[in-house]
Structure 1
Amino acid sequence: MNNIDWKKLQNGSDIRGVALEGVADEAVNLTSDVAKTLGNAFVQWLKGQANKPEEEITIAVGRDSRLSGNALSQSAIEGIALAGCKVYDFDIASTPAMFMSTVTDGFNCDGAIMLTASHLPFNRNGLKFFTPQGGLGKPDITAILAIAEAEELTIGAAKGEATKRDFMTIYAARLVETVRQGVNNLDNFEQPLTGLKIVVDAGNGAGGFYVDRVLKPLGADTTGSQFLDPDGTFPNHVPNPENKEAMEAICKAVVDHQADLGIIFDTDVDRAAAVDRQGNELNRNRMIALIAAIVLREHPGSTIVTDSITSDGLTQFIEQQLGGKHHRFRRGYKNVINESIRLDNSGEESWLAIETSGHGAMKENYFLDDGAYLATKLLVELARTKLQGKLITDLTSSLQEPAASEEFRLKIKTADFQTYGNNVIEQLKEFANTQADWETVPNNYEGVRIACKSEDEAGWFLLRLSLHDPVIPLNIESNAAQGISKIAARLLEFLQGFELLDLSALKSYL
């Protein structure tokens, strides 16, 4: 494996690579041998963290529906067992369930690995790692890759035992109990979703379990649920709540089957979005507003942490309507979660960290970004509002939504894209300060966010540097009919002075 560039497998706090041939110019770098080495390297890293000998360590391994998943998971299991550890093979599972295996009685695994690449194309795969303290961070992944790069496998005195275990049934049972206790309908405690029709779209990922193991035991009618069977070719649509075709599919299913709610998961079920009974999307700012309304009723005055591109209307809703505090932070679900934990530990009560992408983590659930748990909180509210003769969307009726919002991804045409991109941002800050009707938004943790005060713009924009790619994303939101075009035109005039920026996305819009 001397030709493997181990560092290139790191993607922030995950490992991701090309696992299958079939896409031009994408050479395979996540092979079975690599997965075996990574499984063994995780043991070596975990041994120091758990302060246990290998033979006393238990690690769970699961995967989503990707075509490469079975081979890679079996290889990771082989690498773990070689070190002498006990291994539980969960087969197809969700990413949140893998963490839960480390804190659930009867399992109490020292670590867990999930084979997934979220919503990326069929040829990709990756590994996410967990301990009872949560998902591993970027420095941890760097350390594991450094161990793997040495390619010195730890061989135990005896090979560890690998056994298949059904954990998803146990994980789902906890969600079922969460709904029963949350609704607390004494007239029908066991099946509080009776009389409700709920449609699920699993996108042929790992989320199909939610229908048979969560909704049906609760009494829900799940007629119209679709794409529940795991299929790594993803034949129907990309399993991604941010994908336009995916959202159109679940919206249509809700309308066609006259459902009370639609739920859509990404491939490994750490993200979710919903659809109301009229077929309107409940994602991005709407999803955040809905969950925030539930959380702030349970924990008045607490802080909601979101990523940087949430709307001004959401801030007004959280702070003026709900009486909470809205804290925008950097994009990246780990950034948002860690900031919520930091605030909470410092004495500023924070029970929700959530991104517009659908990653949502709650303090009551180990600050775990768990799409199924987020959906389950919605089920509780759906049943509660039905008993009151109301709709779940009544909670967010006062949310002010913008007339329009757009994201433009401006590519940077140089290898040193971070230096170039940061220079663009700094110069934009200086330029914005010279504009009478533009104002820099305070307490901004990422890029530059500018409030556009004139009546014909009436909005804001955020220019930031992508976490990993040579791209500067530009988000613009406006409450004026032609506001985005007017803001974009002024920005284009300024940005044309940067020759290494690809402005085609902006130009084509105008």
Structure 2
Amino acid sequence: MDKFWKQFKSGTDIRGVASEGVAGQKINLTDEVMEKISAGFVLWLSKKANKPADQLIISVGHDSRISASRIQAAVTRALEPAGVTVYDCGLASTPSMFMTTVDLKCDGAVQITASHHPFNRNGLKFFTPDGGLESDDITALLALAEKGDKPENVPGGSVKPVAYMRDYAKHLREIICKGVNAADYDHPLKGFHIVVDAGNGAGGFYASDVLEPLGADVAGSQFLDPDGMFPNHIPNPENEEAMASICEAVKEQKADLGVIFDTDVDRGGAVDHQGEEINRNRLVAVASAIALEGNEGGTIVTDSITSSGLKSYIEETLGGKHHRFKRGYKNVINEAIRLNQEGINCPLAIETSGHAALRENYFLDDGAYLVTKIIIKMAQLKKEGKTLESLLAPLQEPKESVEVRMPILTEDFRACGEQVISGLEAYAKVHDGWQIAPDNHEGIRVSFGKDEGDGWFLLRLSVHDPIMPLNIESDAVGGVKLIAGKLYDYVKTVENVDISALEKIL
């Protein structure tokens, strides 16, 4: 594949520039490109489903981005002439588009989104009834697009508007009613004040179509209207400004809970009634507590940067097992699926970014479903005179933590990064007090004792980019700087890596 087509691959998604407005970023997701990729999907899906194209049903939805209508038109132009029945779902969340393959029996689904990326970018996510496509599948689609392969034009194709988000919201309401099982069964959230922050993405429905009909007070909810310019803050639960905004809203409203979604609602975060984040390690902890109910001793798969305190919480407080794996939401999901296939009870795969996939929900990373489960748990705890904060009380959180990203300055960045990690592993083995984690699956994770920084670092290679992310955590004040200094003695000797971000810590 040449560089032009390779640039659109972002792991298991298609990503690119779809709108003008950012200096130096020229549109590359043109109508022609979108039509060719969509035609490639029809060919790929026809082969996978073992159906001719004119027997396929494919749903298409989009988030709030300003380029959504243009790209949806391009996608439809590739599908309809091939005889495909297209279900036009309009503004929709990414998880709901997968659910069309379950509830509407679609052979495939296309979501037009670039998640939390800037307004000028967009892309495509693809689903079949088996879940999201894998990296190799995206490569195959792009190879077809590069060659210009497309299905034959046949009569019979059609586009049908489908209001599936209405059904999806009803499904979430039913889950809450059943889970809370209140005396007023149809209004289980009466008396609860919940603030929703949709970041002007596709998640505004959660306040109006899920919470309000169940009796919740949603006053103070913010940025619910779709606006693809994202004028208020980046719709991303990992973004500091976004989280500060929802935390402040919860405190102002004296709400019981705050929830926040990314643009396409495949990630979510929460805020407790004190205005404290339930995010990253705290989100993983709450999700683990929920997932292990009825799955005693089960295994929780997380990404590689979760804290030591979280491992203790999962294993000692909850009685589960913690399986630390690689970064990348598809990596943790696929690992959880693999463990279950081997007979290991694994009910949850979750990244600290907020991607959470429960086995009971098709291992679909669904921010609205996760938030729904948290709301149920909050209501259940209230009956017992407890709160989400009491659930998290045993979780030991680090005193200090930091993440820095060190660019790799050579074209063959993967080989360079792997050489740096290999050299660091050899370095760690000959230095006293450097304890290499035996259960790490990417990069190198090293722990240090109480007098040596009382924490750990993880140095890894980015999944897609020429960057080496470095995470450091410590249970002691000043520990991060001490650990960073130990690592610096090694990385200052390597070539083709910009270590200035690490030097700033020192």
TM-score for the superposition, normalised by structure 1? 0.98
Q: CA deviation at 1:24?
A: 2.1
Distance of 2:16 and 2:441 partners within structure 1: 30
Task: Name which of structure 1's ranges 499-508 and 244-253 shifts more when overlaid on structure 2.
Answer: 499-508
Does the residue aligned with 1:340 lie in a helix, a strand or coil? helix
Name the counterpart of 2:297. Answer: 301
Name the counterpart of 1:492. Answer: 488
Say whether 1:238 aligns with 2:237.
no
Distance of 1:62 and 1:267 partners within structure 2: 13
Say whether 1:141 aligns with 2:138.
yes
Say whether 1:322 aligns with 2:318.
yes
Question: What per-residue deviation string (whole Å, max 9, x for no partner) do you get for residues 488-509 of structure 1?
Answer: 1121122111131111111112
Does the residue aligned with 2:473 lie in a helix, a strand or coil? strand
Distance of 1:301 and 1:31 partners within structure 2: 50
Q: Which amino acid aligns with 1:111?
A: G
Q: Which amino acid aligns with 2:325?
A: F
Q: CA deviation at 1:159?
A: 4.7
Matches within 5 A, 1:277-426: 277-426=273-422
Say whether 1:157 aligns with 2:154.
yes
Q: CA deviation at 1:29?
A: 1.0
Does the residue aligned with 2:435 lie in a helix, a strand or coil? strand
The answer on whether the counterparts of 1:40 and 1:82 sit within 8 Å (CA) in structure 2 is no
Q: CA deviation at 1:422?
A: 0.8
Task: Name which of structure 1's ranges 333-342 and 295-304 shifts more when overlaid on structure 2.
Answer: 295-304
Distance of 1:494 and 1:40 partners within structure 2: 49
Does the residue aligned with 2:494 lie in a helix, a strand or coil? coil
Distance of 1:127 and 1:373 partners within structure 2: 21
Q: 1:85 to 1:399 in 2, by over 3 A?
A: same
Distance of 2:36 and 2:481 partners within structure 1: 51
Q: CA deviation at 1:298?
A: 2.5
Say whether 1:85 aligns with 2:81.
no
The answer on whether the counterparts of 1:115 and 1:128 sit within 8 Å (CA) in structure 2 is yes
Q: CA deviation at 1:454?
A: 3.6
Say whether 1:178 aligns with 2:175.
yes
Pairing partner for 2:193 from 179, 192, 197: 197
Does the residue aligned with 1:163 lie in a helix, a strand or coil? strand
The answer on whether the counterparts of 2:53 and 2:151 sit within 8 Å (CA) in structure 1 is no
Distance of 1:203 and 1:401 partners within structure 2: 28
Does the residue aligned with 1:502 lie in a helix, a strand or coil? coil
Say whether 1:125 aligns with 2:98.
no
Distance of 1:281 and 1:455 partners within structure 2: 30
Q: CA deviation at 1:147?
A: 1.1
Q: Find runs of 4+ consecutive structure 1 residues off by over 3 angstroms.
A: none
Distance of 2:319 and 2:153 partners within structure 1: 56
Distance of 1:152 and 1:233 partners within structure 2: 34
Q: Which amino acid aligns with 1:8?
A: Q
The answer on whether the counterparts of 2:301 and 2:322 sit within 8 Å (CA) in structure 1 is yes
Unaligned runs of 5+ in 1: none
The answer on whether the counterparts of 1:456 and 1:482 sit within 8 Å (CA) in structure 2 is no
The answer on whether the counterparts of 2:39 and 2:149 sit within 8 Å (CA) in structure 1 is no
Name the counterpart of 1:465. Answer: 461
Pairing partner for 1:211 from 189, 207, 211: 207
Unaligned runs of 5+ in 2: none
Name the counterpart of 2:504. Answer: 508
Question: What per-residue deviation string (whole Å, max 9, x for no partner) do you get for residues 426-463 of structure 1?
Answer: 11111111221111010210000001114250001000
Question: What per-residue deviation string (whole Å, max 9, x for no partner) do you get for residues 122-175 of structure 1?
Answer: 111000000001000011111111111111332332051101110000011110
Compute the RMSD of aligned alpha carbons. Answer: 1.2
* Identical pairs, percent: 54
Q: Which amino acid aligns with 1:53?
A: P
Does the residue aligned with 2:97 lie in a helix, a strand or coil? helix
Q: Which amino acid aligns with 2:244?
A: E
Distance of 2:14 and 2:483 partners within structure 1: 38
Name the counterpart of 2:105. Answer: 108
TM-score for the superposition, normalised by structure 2? 0.98
Does the residue aligned with 1:501 lie in a helix, a strand or coil? coil
Distance of 1:352 and 1:131 partners within structure 2: 21
Q: CA deviation at 1:291?
A: 1.0
Name the counterpart of 2:10. Answer: 11
Q: Which amino acid aligns with 2:234?
A: V
The answer on whether the counterparts of 1:64 and 1:205 sit within 8 Å (CA) in structure 2 is yes
Task: Name which of structure 1's ranges 139-148 and 265-274 shifts more when overlaid on structure 2.
Answer: 139-148
Does the residue aligned with 2:7 lie in a helix, a strand or coil? helix
Name the counterpart of 2:65. Answer: 66
The answer on whether the counterparts of 1:64 and 1:92 sit within 8 Å (CA) in structure 2 is yes
Question: What per-residue deviation string (whole Å, max 9, x for no partner) do you get for residues 24-69 of structure 1?
Answer: 2222110122112222211111111111122211000000000001
Aligned length: 506
Say whether 1:33 aligns with 2:32.
yes
Q: CA deviation at 1:4?
A: 8.3
Question: What per-residue deviation string (whole Å, max 9, x for no partner) do you get for residues 254-282 of structure 1?
Answer: 00000000000000000001000001000
Task: Name which of structure 1's ranges 46-55 and 88-97 shifts more when overlaid on structure 2.
Answer: 46-55
Say whether 1:169 aligns with 2:179.
no
Q: CA deviation at 1:3?
A: 10
